[in-house]
């Protein structure tokens, strides 16, 4: 009975420490907890105003291929995992973007944020095009989302697809640009999408 009381007393701590999303990267994958502050920046709507057909119709070539691949995981609802693979790519946020861009290995957010991962930084958010990404790193934690386009003409909201965490798995929705910028998300582009 005493062991049960101790286990129940520890339950709130376990719930607080449960993974909130793609996060710190130690070693080869995305491991650890997303920063608590990130929860305010989660997807705010179930989907963006643009339909899949409109998003796919806005691009061609390599960008179209990257978005087709992106939607393939969304359709399959590939579950989030920092240790499992699907089609040769780790099923966390950075493995997802690696898969969309058909990089050799599954890179980490640390790779993408540092200007590696077969990608390069863009000068500003205004340069973003469908198939690019937004990456964040802070205090050893990170997250990356695939940019699908703008949700409004003022470019205040970005449509994104992401492998968001064990509670959410694949998500398609919008994020406020003001929140992305405040959280330190950088716009990046795959080398093969130059």
Backbone φ and ψ for 81, nearest 5 degrees, come out as -160, 140
Q: Model-level pTM?
A: 0.81
The CB density around residue 79, as the number of other CB atoms within 10 Å, is 13
Q: Which two tokens stand for residue 20?
A: 């909130």
Q: Give residue 34's pLDDT.
A: 38
pLDDT exceeds cutoff 80 at 37: no
Cα–Cα separations (whole angstroms), residue 80 to 19, 48, 125: 11, 21, 27
Residue ranges covered by each domain of the chain = 20-193
Q: Give residue 47's pLDDT.
A: 74
| CATH fold of 20-193 | endopeptidase fold (from Nostoc punctiforme) (3.90.1720)
> For residue 170, what are the β-bridge partners?
163
> For residue 188, what are the β-bridge partners?
121, 133
Find the mean pLDDT for residues 161-184: 94
Q: What angle do CA 52, 103, 122 make, to 5 degrees?
A: 70
* Residue among 130, 127, 140 nearest 59 (CA): 130
Confidence bin at 163 (pLDDT 50/70/90): very high
Find the mean pLDDT for residues 70-74: 97
Helix (H, G, I), strand (E, B), or coil: what is residue 174?
strand
Q: Give residue 11's pLDDT.
A: 37
Cα–Cα separations (whole angstroms), residue 79 to 118, 120, 141, 168, 179: 25, 28, 20, 8, 26
pLDDT exceeds cutoff 70 at 38: no
Q: Give residue 26's pLDDT.
A: 41
Instruction: Tell me the pLDDT of the chain averaged across its residues.
Output: 83
* Residue among 129, 131, 145 nearest 180 (CA): 145
pLDDT exceeds cutoff 50 at 27: no
Calpha distance 68→189 (Å, rounded): 17
Q: Give residue 22's pLDDT.
A: 58
**CB contact set of 147 (below 8 Å; sequence gap of 6+):** 128, 129, 130, 131, 132, 133, 134, 158, 159, 160, 187
Calpha distance 191→164 (Å, rounded): 24
């Amino acid at each position: 009975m005493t062991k049960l009381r101790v286990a129940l007393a520890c339950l709130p701590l376990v719930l607080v420490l449960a993974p909130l999303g793609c996060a710190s990267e130690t070693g080869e994958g995305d491991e650890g907890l997303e920063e608590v502050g990130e929860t305010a920046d989660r997807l705010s709507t179930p989907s963006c105003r643009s339909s899949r057909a409109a998003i796919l119709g806005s691009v061609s070539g390599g960008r179209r291929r990257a978005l087709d691949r992106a939607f393939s995981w969304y359709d399959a609802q590939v579950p989030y995992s920092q240790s499992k693979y699907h089609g040769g790519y780790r099923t966390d946020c950075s493995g997802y973007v690696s898969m969309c861009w058909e990089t050799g290995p599954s890179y980490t957010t640390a790779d993408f944020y540092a200007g590696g991962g077969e990608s390069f930084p863009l000068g500003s958010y205004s340069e973003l095009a469908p198939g690019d990404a937004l990456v964040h790193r802070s205090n050893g934690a990170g997250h990356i989302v695939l940019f699908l386009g703008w949700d409004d003409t003022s470019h205040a909201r970005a449509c994104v697809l992401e492998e968001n965490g064990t509670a959410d798995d694949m998500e398609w929705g919008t994020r406020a640009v003001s929140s992305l910028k405040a959280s330190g998300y950088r716009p990046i582009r795959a080398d093969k999408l130059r």
